[in-house]
Structure 1
Amino acid sequence: MLATATEEASAEPESVIILCGVLLSLVAIFIASKAGGEFFNWLGFPPVLGELVGGVVIGVSALHLVVFPENGDYTSSLIMSILQATTGLEPNAAQTTYEATSEVLSVLAELGVIVLLFEIGLESNIRQLLEVGIQSLLVAVVGVTVPFVAGTAGLILIFHTPTVAAIFAGAALTATSIGITSRVLTEIGQLSSTEGQIILGAAVMDDILGIIVLAVVASLAKTGEIDVLNTVYLIISASVFLVGAILLGRFFNNSFVALAKQFKTRGRVVIPALTLALVLSYIAAAINLEAILGAFAAGLVLDETDIEDQHLEDLIIPIAGVIVPVFFVTVGTKTDLSVLNPAIPENREGLIIASFLIVVAMIGKVVSGWSVFGIPQVNRLAIGVGMIPRGEVGLVFAAVGSDSGALSPALDVAIILMVILTTFVAPPLLRVVMKTEEVAEPETSS
């Protein structure tokens, strides 16, 4: 009895300290997102880029306020130092508290990208996506195949990289961050354009292809052979999931509207909508797909859903405004710019390999825009540029490759550098090429 009481007494303060750590971290994240977003908006750049930079400032590369376990232990986190000074956190419990706090923040970041993709799905038009479906598929296939083949072959032939490691690095080049690209398209008012719909559809398909590629190369790294059955399973499950969601969309939409009309209390529209998004996200994750695909499918299902005077898209915006920045700032906090330091010997080889990977990463995606056919006056450069950012998807590839032991330190650094540069370069570049199109249109019409 005494032992149980003691355990309960010690557990409660620990949970309170973890809460304090999360609260302080969110304060830093919200300040960074707002300051960075406003500053970059003032400069004329996409606010999402400011959120990423804000994350870099408070993360492992600068202030060390929000630091995750993959970048260091609790001693490298300033927030943990503050907790030790203000809450009496003992050193022997600090690492556990640090890991628990980081886990909570990671979950919140994942929720952020789920809400973002749900919002993007609501803003998209399922009929327009189906109209450019073949175009999106071609862009995705070319955008996966070209950088994968060029990157893998180049690493083997030029840098004499072991085959499995080269395949892993080539696979990392196939990724596209749908979250970052879709956010930029929304900010510049181009999400519903033909280019925006092709990019969005291609990014979704790219995610599916990326998951399959990752599963294949991860199996190759662990066992030395490809798991054919798992690959076939992923292809079938992804196809059935997305096609099923689209085909059943009308039924879901009508049922949702009928149900929401029966509710009279606060959240009568938004809570059922988010529930559907979470259910589909769970199903996607449970069958080894990305949860964000489920959220995006839910958004497509509920596209153009209006109930009396309440517009679902308008109701989601305030929620997204709170939780989505956590995702982008978190991506920034994990960006370790120390890999750019040529004074560190192991970084030098990585910088050389990174230069090659960055060129292949950008050209490989840009050429995918030229696979679009049959659509006059489409901005193919914008489509290609929209596929460039690797973001969190590229970081997943890097993490899996590093954990498998297939990557050398130099190649690991090179992949991280490629992810960093493509993530930060793509948003302003996409804004420029989209503006070029807007300027060119009046001249064409006249």
Structure 2
Amino acid sequence: MPIDSFVISIFLMLTFGRLLSELCCRVGVPGVVGEMLAGLIIGPSILGWVHPHNTLSVLAELGVILLLFDIGCETSVKRLYHASGRSIWVALGGIIYPVVIGGASAAYWLNLPPFTALFFGCALTATSIGISIRVMTQAKQGQTLAGQVILGAAVVDDIVGVVLLSVLLNFNASGTLSLVSVLILVMKVVGFVFLAPPMARMLIYLFRSWYPHSKSSGFEVFVVITLICLFAWLAHWVGAPALLGGFAAGMALSRQFVFPTNRYLPNPFPFTHKLEVSAKPLVDLFSPIFFVYVGISVDLSQLDFTVSGLVVLLWLALIAIVTKLASGMAAKGPLRRKIIIGSAMIPRGEVGLVFAEMGLQLGIIQPKLFTEMVLIIAISSIVGPMLLKWSLKGQTVLHKKP
């Protein structure tokens, strides 16, 4: 992408994203909805000012990695551990329902061959951690039990989604299914999730020992970007989503970080707090770029605008929403909490788009199905936050009652 096209694209994405985000917040709609609508407006679907491009896609993924870093900084490992049992059941529902119901529905209504329908169903297993947790955080519910269950289930869904994607791509390329390669991939991803935070924590101690005397050196930003880039690369290297690397680096900064070495090493909270504060402007600047890019990725010109075509699309979008909402019913507690958890599982976001993009590049899906998948992902990413915000509003009211 030429530099002039790149800079004007970023200008339009940031400007329209901020304007529509602020507008949505003023009328009580989550800001992420405004950012995705901004992408729809400036993208190929309406004005055609900005088009999907690999450069913008990479920048959008960097925004998600930074957002997950910020979420990791606020994550309580103890609460995440205590919520893990509940998260597993929610995650299983969020995988099985979309694969079985979503895949079968796509095969029937879109006349897809079995493998393509399976790919479609697997793409719907994704859950966007960034979208849902951002809404939860804005409502000051990120550290509640529901927030931790959502985070744990979304992480499991994304890990399983990556494994499913790798298996499907391997089968598409070779025509055979290797159980050994699948097991190796699972072991690498799970090992990374457990080992990366303490590794990042040890690096933080090392960086603290190198702290320069100059106060204007920008050392904190250097450390943050270094950690995020390193662990995002390591996550990608082991076959996990790069955004999990950002999350792992953020967990290492958390004041609630728990590891056996805590007995022997003092908590570096003053230093980690400086790192977290220095990263905040980067998160606020880059994370909206991803949500705007989701809207840009939608090209309505590929859509079947006949009555039957629109009905089928809306029906599949409804199935995508309901199958994830139903996963929240596996959580324990009152119905309100189950609705909150199920609503947070609805947005597909970045991992779903990765599924669609890889399927298009490798010829598993055709451009028309790609557009329909992206639009379903976009619809889920809009409906999910709106339903989540509504359910959280009810939760807040309940908390205020005596």
TM-score (ref. length: structure 1): 0.80
CA contact (8 A) 2:150 2:345 kept: yes
CA distance in 2, matches of 1:150, 1:194: 29
CA contact (8 A) 2:40 2:46 kept: yes
> Which residue type is aligned with residue 300 of structure 2?
L
TM-fit CA distance, 1:270:
2.9
CA distance in 2, matches of 1:322, 1:209: 30
What residue number does 1:435 align with?
A: 393
CA contact (8 A) 1:212 1:235 kept: yes
What residue number does 1:379 align with?
A: 337
What residue number does 2:275 align with?
A: 312
What residue number does 2:89 align with?
A: 138
CA contact (8 A) 1:350 1:411 kept: no
Distance 1:324 1:408, change over 3 A: closer
The question of 1:405 aligning with 2:356 is answered no
Say which SS state the counterpart of residue 179 (structure 1) adopts.
helix
CA contact (8 A) 2:253 2:272 kept: no
CA contact (8 A) 1:121 1:296 kept: yes
CA distance in 1, matches of 2:272, 2:372: 52
CA contact (8 A) 2:109 2:312 kept: no
What residue number does 2:70 align with?
A: 119
TM-score (ref. length: structure 2): 0.89
Q: Sequence identity of aligned pairs in percent?
A: 35
CA contact (8 A) 2:297 2:374 kept: no
What residue number does 1:45 align with?
A: 29
Of 184-193 and 44-53, more deviation after overlay is shown by: 184-193
CA distance in 2, matches of 1:377, 1:247: 37
The question of 1:426 aligning with 2:384 is answered yes
Distance 1:104 1:308, change over 3 A: closer
Distance 1:244 1:39, change over 3 A: same
The question of 1:327 aligning with 2:290 is answered yes
CA distance in 2, matches of 1:419, 1:376: 28
Of 289-298 and 124-133, more deviation after overlay is shown by: 124-133
| Residue in structure 2 matching 1:362, options 299, 314, 321 | 321
Say which SS state the counterpart of residue 219 (structure 2) adopts.
coil
Q: How does 1:29-40 map to 2 (within 5 A)?
A: 29-40=13-24
The question of 1:351 aligning with 2:314 is answered no
CA distance in 2, matches of 1:308, 1:283: 24
CA contact (8 A) 1:40 1:49 kept: yes
Say which SS state the counterpart of residue 327 (structure 1) adopts.
helix
Distance 1:300 1:320, change over 3 A: same
Q: How many residues align?
A: 390
- In structure 2, stretches of 5+ residues that fail to align are 256-267
CA distance in 2, matches of 1:67, 1:163: 32
CA distance in 2, matches of 1:156, 1:50: 33
What residue number does 1:245 align with?
A: 196
TM-fit CA distance, 1:248:
4.6
Of 135-144 and 242-251, more deviation after overlay is shown by: 242-251
CA contact (8 A) 2:129 2:155 kept: yes
Say which SS state the counterpart of residue 318 (structure 2) adopts.
helix
> Which residue type is aligned with residue 338 of structure 2?
R
CA contact (8 A) 2:124 2:320 kept: yes
Q: How does 1:216-235 map to 2 (within 5 A)?
A: 216-235=167-186
CA contact (8 A) 2:97 2:323 kept: yes
What residue number does 1:175 align with?
A: 126
What residue number does 2:41 align with?
A: 57
> Which residue type is aligned with residue 379 of structure 1?
R
Distance 1:232 1:309, change over 3 A: closer
> Which residue type is aligned with residue 324 of structure 1?
S
The higher-RCO structure (CA 8 Å, 6+ apart) is 2
CA contact (8 A) 2:131 2:349 kept: yes
> Which residue type is aligned with residue 48 of structure 1?
V
CA distance in 2, matches of 1:247, 1:110: 24
What residue number does 1:25 align with?
A: 9
CA distance in 2, matches of 1:301, 1:309: 9
Say which SS state the counterpart of residue 152 (structure 2) adopts.
helix
Say which SS state the counterpart of residue 190 (structure 1) adopts.
coil
CA distance in 2, matches of 1:414, 1:131: 38
TM-fit CA distance, 1:60:
0.8
- 1:277-307 alpha-carbon deviations (Å, 9 max, x no partner): 2111111111221110011011001112632
Q: How does 1:89-168 map to 2 (within 5 A)?
A: 102-156=53-107, 160-168=111-119
CA distance in 2, matches of 1:35, 1:442: 32
> Which residue type is aligned with residue 357 of structure 1?
L
CA distance in 1, matches of 2:183, 2:250: 27
TM-fit CA distance, 1:337:
2.9
Distance 1:179 1:350, change over 3 A: farther
The question of 1:395 aligning with 2:353 is answered yes
- 1:325-351 alpha-carbon deviations (Å, 9 max, x no partner): 2222122111223355524xxxx6653
TM-fit CA distance, 1:406:
3.2
TM-fit CA distance, 1:33:
1.4
- 1:380-433 alpha-carbon deviations (Å, 9 max, x no partner): 111011010112222222222233333356644432332121011111111001
What residue number does 1:78 align with?
A: none
Q: How does 1:283-294 map to 2 (within 5 A)?
A: 283-294=234-245
What residue number does 1:417 align with?
A: 375
CA distance in 1, matches of 2:60, 2:315: 31
TM-fit CA distance, 1:26:
1.4
TM-fit CA distance, 1:266:
2.4
TM-fit CA distance, 1:318:
1.0
TM-fit CA distance, 1:310:
5.2
TM-fit CA distance, 1:132:
0.9
CA distance in 2, matches of 1:428, 1:126: 28
